Structure formats: C-alpha cells, structure tokens
Copies of this chain bind each other. A is one copy, B any other.
Amino acid sequence: MRILYHLPLDPGCRKIRLLLAEKGLGVELKSEQVWERRDAFLRLNPAGEVPVLVEADGTILPDAQVIAEYLEETCNETPLLGATALDRAETRRLVNWFDRKFAREVSDLLIEEKVMKRLLGRGNPDSAAIRAANHNIHHHLDYVGWLAERRNWLAGEHLGLADLTAAAHLSCLDYLDHVPWDQHPSAREWYARIKSRPSMRPILADYLASNPPPKHYADLDF
C-alpha cells in the first residue's frame, strides 16, 4: 500500500489526497509534524516538507507537483491534466495560479496566522496579514466564478487538476471559515459540485481539536 506523509490543513497534501481518490488509488495517510524535522523523514525529503508519497515499490516522491505529474504519467486511466499539450498548459497555468499566487496572497497568510502560530506558539496572529488575505480572496473568487461561468470546470470541459488544486486551497480556508461564499455565487456553485464528489468526503471529515471547523464546512448545502 502506498503511504502519504501529510498535514491535514496543507493545500498541497489535500490536492494529492483528492488526486489519488479521483484516480481510484488507495493510500495510507501518516501525519508528519514537519517542524520536528525527524531524521527518517528528512531522508525521504531533504526539503523537509509534505506531501511525500511512498509508492508500494518503495519509490519516494516528494512535492505535490512532482507527485501529480508522476501519477499522471504512470496511472493515466483518469487523466487529470488534459488531453492535448495546450489543455495541459492551461491546467498547469491554473495549478500554479493557486499554488503560487493564491498561496502567496491568501492561503499561506491565513494558514500561518490562524493555524501555525497557535500550533507552534509563534505569538499572536498578525491582523494586517489576515486583513490582506481577506481582501485579496475576493479577486480570486471572482476569477474562479468567471472561469466556472465560461467552462464546465476551471480549465475546460472536464474536472481536472486545476479544480482539485483550487478546491484543496479553498477547503483549507473554508475549514477556517474565511471564504465569503455569499458574495461569490458562481464560485460557490463550482465548489458545491466539487464538494459533492466522493473524493472530498475524507477531507470534509478532517478535524483538528486545536481548530474545530465551522458547521457549514462539511455541509453539502452550505
């Protein structure tokens, strides 16, 4: 059985959980407290970051993007990047939009201030950083809504890695009750479709005692 070293509120880890589930690939999850910098974990990934996937044959794959491309190449019954080189370019463009731009402007800020600081005793949340993230998220939800109004899914006709990446980030923020769905009906309609997929069920069941989720988090009619 493959093993995924992960953290529950890490968008990259959630993306790989969604991708494995959409491809119908089983996995055993192991929570990895990366800040403890365990020697055995650093031997798997010298960058010291999750996710790391260890395949049943012992193949070690660190980094969400490395894992996604590898599984797309080796388990291609359910393609998630797209059918043509141009489709794949559009998927990768949006994947990077969320993993870099959205992360920098929204999700990294909120996860650091609302989760990591409390967990690691790094002091009080920085209200300016939270304010900036709460401001920036509107621009991104507008973009999600704009794409979802014009295409069936974010990168085109079929559900793909762009949707899983956006859902991975937004589900972390929804867990923290920081997504203003009311003001973004098109983005909400897209997220409702993602939320009802079987691949989302384990993610909607995530629970951290230090940060319990709001009631609507697991509700399909939110």
Instruction: Establish whether residues B89 and A66, one from each chain, have CB atoms under 8 Å apart when the complex forms.
Output: yes
Q: Which residues of B contact A92 (CB under 8 A)?
A: 63, 65-66, 69
Q: Which residues of B contact A89 (CB under 8 A)?
A: 59, 61, 66, 69-70
Task: Please encode chain A, from 120 to 161, with 1 for each CB lying within 8 Å of some chain B CB and 0 for all others.
Answer: 000000000000000000000001000000000000000000
Task: Please encode chain A, from 87 to 129, with 1 for each CB lying within 8 Å of some chain B CB and 0 for all others.
Answer: 0110011001100010000000000000000000000000000
Task: Please encode chain A, from 71 to 96, with 1 for each CB lying within 8 Å of some chain B CB and 0 for all others.
Answer: 00110000000000110110011001
A47 near B: Cβ within 8 Å?
A: yes
Instruction: Establish whether residues A47 and B88, one from each chain, have CB atoms under 8 Å apart when the complex forms.
Output: no
Q: Which residues of B contact A47 (CB under 8 A)?
A: 97, 101
A11 near B: Cβ within 8 Å?
A: no
CB distance from A221 to the nearest CB of B (A): 32
A51 near B: Cβ within 8 Å?
A: no
CB closest residue in chain B, given A47 = B101
Q: Roughly how many angstroms separate A5 CA and B72 CA in the complex, as a whole number?
A: 30
Q: Which residues of A contact B (CB under 8 A)?
A: 46-47, 59, 61-63, 65-66, 69-70, 73-74, 85-86, 88-89, 92-93, 96-97, 101, 143
A-B contact pairs, 26 of them (CB 8 A): A46-B143, A47-B97, A47-B101, A59-B86, A59-B89, A62-B93, A63-B92, A63-B93, A65-B65, A65-B92, A65-B96, A66-B89, A66-B92, A66-B93, A66-B96, A69-B69, A69-B88, A69-B89, A69-B92, A70-B85, A70-B86, A70-B88, A70-B89, A73-B85, A73-B88, A74-B85
List 10 extra interface pairs beyond A63-B92, A69-B88, A70-B89, CB under 8 A: A46-B143, A59-B86, A65-B96, A66-B92, A69-B92, A70-B85, A70-B86, A70-B88, A73-B85, A73-B88
The 8 closest A-B pairs by CB, nearest first: A73-B85, A66-B92, A70-B89, A66-B93, A63-B96, A66-B89, A74-B85, A47-B101
